[in-house]
Structure 1
Amino acid sequence: MLVTRFAPSPTGRLHKGHAFSALTAWQAAREAGGRFLLRIEDIDPIRCRPEFEDAILEDLAWLGIDWDGPVRRQSDHLGDYAAAIDDLRARGLLYRCFRTRKDILDAIGDAPHGALEAARPGPHPADEEASLLAQGRPFAWRLSLDRAREVLGEAAWSSLSFVEEGAGPDGETGRIPARPETAGDVVLARKDAAVAYHLACVHDDALQGVTHVIRGQDLFEATHIQVLIQTLMGWPIPTYRHHRLLTGPDGRRYAKRDQSVTLAEMRAAGVTAADLRAELAP
């Protein structure tokens, strides 16, 4: 049975791009006689707000989208993610990193021919780490790609892959070799966030039995590191189906940060759900 999901973050109102993604996944599930799940990815305690979650439910109801089972709110399950973090840490797959995002970006900028290596800073020397801990400096837990490769072995590392039923930004489709090294040593948890997107996302896909991840092409590259995490944790790798991104009159894709016109604003302007569904028919 096909099981898919729509997993928005309540950091703002939904726009037309969100509607297209939700309708695409919902229609795929309904046409296959499968299940469509709704997950609220609210692990960012600063940007996520309850009123935006309420607005998501309102917008989906207006569109005529229903879902199977209860809504899963990630903030209600932080203990689940902490257990996964503990498991990875116990296996030596995570290391403390006190470097800021700016430190990493500066290192990448200073090494134009070694950007991938700069994005894998590695553990601090033991004495430096002890000193930083004693100072109470904030740190993140990064996934060590070097250690992951060692744990999996060269054969398993080289065979990492996923099935793409849609298409990546450059038309990638079919069986795709996974290249987790393109993401660097990603952050999986930090002091102010118990878990990061990459881990929470694949944890829940496995827990909820998601067989098909249907989402926008902007997340295609994230699949590479997510496949590695799934493999390390022994979780199933879903089939992926990345869809095209909607763009506005200016040619830019719809995004919250660009203050794209929201579904609520469209509704207030007299646009009906039927009109929008006809326009966005996958």
Structure 2
Amino acid sequence: MQRRAQRAEDQRDQRAGRSSRLSRALVGAATVPVLLVAAGCSSDSGSGDDAKRASESAASTSASPSPTVQAAVYETLPEPCAMLAKKTLEDLVPKGTKGKEGSSDDTSTRANCSWDSLDNNGVKGSQFRWLNVALLRFDSDVSRGAGDERAQQYYAKQVADAQAAEGAKNTRTEQLSGTGEEATLIRYDLRKKEGTFRQQTVVTRIENVVITLDYNGAGLAGDKTPDADDLAKAATKAAKEAATALTATKDTADTTDAESPTASASKSASPAKKD
């Protein structure tokens, strides 16, 4: 009898233990959703911070000023064959004053004209002259830089190329004043089977445009070689004239803009001065 009572008590204890463990399990399970909800709230908070930072970054980027570059002064080029006066051409190329314009995909950016002259003196030989004027204009570009800076780089390259001409002898370089922002005269001799050619190259930069003037002369078939100093003076004079022709295009453009209907309307809309 005592043994049955003991077994009955043990069974009650086992059932009580299982009940206690079941209660703890149910309580633990009930806390899981609460933790998941808390974790979800924490994740949403992080996403909100990221979105806020992204928004602030975008606002900062949009508020930053776009890169700019100084506008180019010259937007077009003059007709190359009309840059030199007839009198100048008669002095430099007396037997060939009609120029030949070179081909170009865009004459507002690149243009050139050449003249050649052959003064045939029969058995006494001949005098040959050749003249070429080439222009290259550079636009301003955010990725490449301002037009005048790009032109300055090209100017330096043109001077260096002339100084390193293949076969050149007695090379001399002179800086010229009063012609554009910068100008250089490069002189040298070239000996060919026809005779000795006296080469004169004047490179001039005016704002965003580079003018390269080439002029050479030779005495052929036994005629005497022309004087290098005379050719240099003629080339320098022609280069200054070409520079003046270029600047005249800007003056014409400025006058046209000033006389445009928009400018006139703006002028008439401005208040009159009181005495």
TM-score (norm 2): 0.23
Structure ranking higher in strand proportion: 2
Structure number with greater CO (CA < 8 Å, separation at least 6) is: 1
TM-score (norm 1): 0.22
